[in-house]
Amino acid sequence: MRAANAMSRKRLFNFPLAVALAGILGCIPLGESAAQSPAIQTPAPVAAAGASPGFAIPIDCALGRDCFILNYFDRDPGPGMLDFGCGRQSNDGHDGTDFGIPDEQAMAGGVAVLASAAGTVMRVRDGISDRRTEATKEAAQLKGIECGNGTVIDHGNGWQTQYCHLRNGSVAVKPGMQVEKGAVLGMVGMSGLASYPHVHLTIRYQGKPVDPFVGVNAASGCQLERHPLWEQSLEYAGTGLIKGGFSGQPPGDSNTLWNGSFSRSSVSTKSSALIFWVHIFGVLKGDVEHFRLLAPDGAAALEHKREIRSPIRINWSSFVGKKNTGERPLAPGVWRGEYQLVRGDRVVVEVTREVELR
């Protein structure tokens, strides 16, 4: 990313759509494949060069519950991608950390972008529209404004932070303003080169991007001593749940998932089907999904296991369901969906959802 007028060098990653349906079982991969390591805990932060201010996360949310780190700093000096946890939860050349939210409905409700440390606002930009960017042609149209709406803050002692993809019209600061840590800078959006709603944070020391999970003057790669810049210890999460629930029809394409309206669709005993679905990030080849759908009487209406053969880094959507027929109608009462993502002998994601049909 650049600190000049063109505020970002973020690269586009495409989301080709491939849908696999078997009756009413399915998985919808919507992105590129990756591999990553088991979750690890970062060491406690220590003082960094130039008196690091100790950075807070730049978003007002509960990390791991209603927001997620979906892209880490790329530590591979070549054309590949490698995050600090020795996984692939990054993009080639990605110079920051992406904090994503579940969908555009959450974006419309307003999720604040916060100053990670106190400082002086240097530059701002607003007025760039919010839209999901998927194609290379669309990316070319955003040359020079990849960062979208955002701001740069100077924290002294050689430290700066940059915030990208803020929601159009939400930027709340102006050049020259003094802001405290936690001050609202704007709202999470999808302006510029963004394929889902998130805020991209780049931390720079003496003009160079720094991986906040590793610290300054670190060598490339992931097997190295880490001196994180965060004010609190943050857990590495290479795999996790973005959202999940019930609907009356299978998930659609990536636009449907990120739009958010699908996840809020209602179901009843008159629905054509009852679908239990999940949206996961960081699945790996060889992971095994285990679904169970339990009827109101506790009986298993459906149980299914499948091995993932074509993993997707950010957008993996999977589902099972029961058709509503005259011979086998959907019974009224509370239905329960259970999901596990198993890696080797470990359960890395576990989801339980319930819905009452009337």
Give pLDDT tens digits for 269-285: 999 999 999 999 999 99
Asked whether residue 78 is domain-assigned, the answer is: yes
Asked whether residue 323 is domain-assigned, the answer is: yes
What ranges make up the beta strands (E) of 308-332? Answer: 316-323
CATH number, domain with residue 325: 2.60.40.10
Q: How many CB atoms lie within 10 A of CB 345?
A: 5
Mean pLDDT of 314-320: 91
Mean pLDDT of 18-22: 29
Residues 48 and 191 in one domain: yes
Kindly indicate the confidence band of residue 139, based on its pLDDT and cuts at 50, 70 and 90. Answer: confident
pLDDT digits (tens, 9 = 90+) for 178-205: 999 999 999 999 999 999 999 999 999 9
Residues 248 and 153 in one domain: no
pLDDT of residue 250: 86
pLDDT of residue 49: 52
Query: In angstroms, what CA-CA distances link 147 with 23, 95, 128?
Result: 42, 12, 10
Q: How many CB atoms lie within 10 A of CB 4?
A: 8
Residues 58 and 186 in one domain: yes
Asked whether residue 316 is domain-assigned, the answer is: yes
Q: Is the pLDDT at 331 greater than 90, yes or no?
A: yes
Query: In angstroms, what CA-CA distances link 98 with 67, 197, 286?
Result: 10, 10, 26
Q: Which residues of 133-166 are buried (b: 16+ CB within 10 A; e: fewer)?
A: bbeeeebeebeebbbbbbbbbebeebbbbbbbbb
CA distance linking residue 354 with residue 358, whole number of Å:
13
Query: In angstroms, what CA-CA distances link 270 with 25, 49, 263?
Result: 20, 63, 18
Phi, psi of 339 (to 5 degrees): -140, 135
Q: Are 358 and 285 in contact (CB under 8 A)?
A: no
Residues sharing a CB contact under 8 Å with residue 133, sequence separation 6 or more, in sequence order: 12, 139, 142, 192, 193, 194, 195
* Strand (E) or helix (H) holding 139: helix 136-140
Residues 325 and 189 in one domain: no
Mean pLDDT of 164-178: 98
Asked whether residue 142 is domain-assigned, the answer is: yes
Over its C-alpha atoms, the chain yields an Rg (Å, rounded) of: 21
Asked whether residue 291 is domain-assigned, the answer is: yes
Asked whether residue 317 is domain-assigned, the answer is: yes
Q: Which two tokens stand for residue 16?
A: 């080709």
Residues 53 and 202 in one domain: yes
CA distance linking residue 199 with residue 71, whole number of Å:
11
pLDDT digits (tens, 9 = 90+) for 122-135: 999 999 999 998 76
pLDDT digits (tens, 9 = 90+) for 204-254: 999 999 999 999 999 999 988 999 999 999 999 999 999 999 999 888 888
CATH number, domain with residue 110: 2.70.70.10
Phi, psi of 136 (to 5 degrees): -60, -35
Number of domains in the chain: 2
Mean pLDDT of the chain: 86
Residues 191 and 317 in one domain: no
Q: Which two tokens stand for residue 113?
A: 């972008």
Asked whether residue 295 is domain-assigned, the answer is: yes
**Boundaries of domain holding 269:** 240-357
Residues 329 and 250 in one domain: yes
pLDDT of residue 330: 97
CA distance linking residue 341 with residue 201, whole number of Å:
29
Residues 168 and 245 in one domain: no
Q: Is the pLDDT at 22 greater than 50, yes or no?
A: no
pLDDT of residue 212: 97
pLDDT of residue 198: 98
Residues 178 and 244 in one domain: no
CA distance linking residue 197 with residue 182, whole number of Å:
20
The percentage of the chain sitting over the pLDDT mark of 90, rounded to a whole number, equals 74
pLDDT of residue 28: 43
pLDDT of residue 251: 84
pLDDT of residue 263: 80
Strand order of the β-sheet with 316-323 is: 20-22, 25-29, 316-323, 273-281, 240-247
Query: In angstroms, what CA-CA distances link 280 with 130, 244, 276, 314?
Result: 23, 9, 13, 7
Kindly indicate the confidence band of residue 39, based on its pLDDT and cuts at 50, 70 and 90. Answer: very low
Task: Tell me the CA end-to-end span of the chain in Å, nearest whole number.
Answer: 52
Of 96, 98, 80, the closest CA to residue 221 belongs to 80
Kindly indicate the confidence band of residue 45, based on its pLDDT and cuts at 50, 70 and 90. Answer: very low
Q: Which two tokens stand for residue 54?
A: 């100790």
Q: Is the pLDDT at 15 greater than 50, yes or no?
A: no
Q: Where is the domain boundary, 165, 193, 210?
A: 210
Of 271, 276, 305, the closest CA to residue 288 belongs to 305
Q: Where is the domain boundary, 189, 210, 231?
A: 210
pLDDT of residue 26: 55
SS3 of residue 106 by DSSP: helix
CA distance linking residue 193 with residue 98, whole number of Å:
12
Residues 44 and 186 in one domain: yes
Residues 49 and 174 in one domain: yes
pLDDT of residue 136: 65
Residues 187 and 303 in one domain: no
Mean pLDDT of 305-316: 90
Asked whether residue 290 is domain-assigned, the answer is: yes
* Amino acid at position 340, single letter: Q
